[in-house]
Amino acid sequence: MLILKTRFRRMDDFLDSFSPEVPGALFCPTTSRLTEKQKVIIDLKFPGLPNRVMILGTVQTWRPALPRLRVRAGATVEFAATETDKLQFLRNVVQGKEEEYPKRRHVRIPVDFPVRWRPQDSAEYMKGGIHDISLGGAFLLSAVDLPVGTEVILDMDVPGVHNPVTLAGKVAYSLSGQGNGIKFLYRDGGGSRRIRELLRRIQAQE
């Protein structure tokens, strides 16, 4: 999936880039010719933002540059419905509430793929989804609220990867009725290598 690296030098520039026609859509400068309804990831940064934020979205329109009119090439990208929490996070930063959100060690990549998972002490798998993922962990979409510290096994069906990717983790936090934040556990020397390769494949997908 294409990643649009979007940087703003001033917070006002970021605010001015929101589309007046499409609520929850942002203009992202890019010379890459994009097509309507194309799925992309916005890699966003502006002054005051404690972390880079990666947002899943869909291209609504793309325009070429018009140098004589000082018009930049770029795409208007509508945020996915699953990204409402990130929109709220951005609003809080703009309003000066960023102190509520500690910096993440690893940037999380928004994704949408199925997963089979089970508690470490159970042989019964349940179905769920992965909402975002990083080198340190992932968010498991599930109606099951798990106690913090519960160890789980994840079998992830990643697009472009023939066999399921199996990783171990433990619950770092739970959002009632929505899912659980999972911190990966690397029990062998190849665990970190596997997730790095997985992230590389995700980011390389078009």
The CATH number of 2-100, from 2.30.40.10, 3.90.120.10, 2.40.10.220, 3.40.50.300, is 2.40.10.220
Percent of the chain with pLDDT over 90: 35
Selected residue with higher pLDDT from 166 and 77: 77
Rg (CA), the chain: 18
**Predicted TM-score of the model (pTM):** 0.64
- Tell me whether domains 2-100 and 109-204 share a fold: yes
The CATH number of 109-204, from 3.30.428.10, 3.30.360.10, 3.40.30.10, 2.40.10.220, is 2.40.10.220
Distance CA 42, CA 14 (A): 13
- Mean pLDDT of the region 188-195: 68
Q: Where are the domains of the chain?
A: 2-100, 109-204
| pLDDT reading at 30 higher than 90 | yes
Q: Following DSSP, what letter does each residue of 49-98 receive, concatenated? A: -SS-EEEEEEEEEEE--BGGGTBPPEEEEEEPGGGHHHHHHHHHHHTT-G
pLDDT at 187: 66
Q: How far is CA 73 from CA 102, 123, 163, 191, in A?
A: 34, 53, 39, 41
Selected residue with higher pLDDT from 192 and 172: 172
| pLDDT reading at 42 higher than 50 | yes
| pLDDT reading at 46 higher than 80 | yes
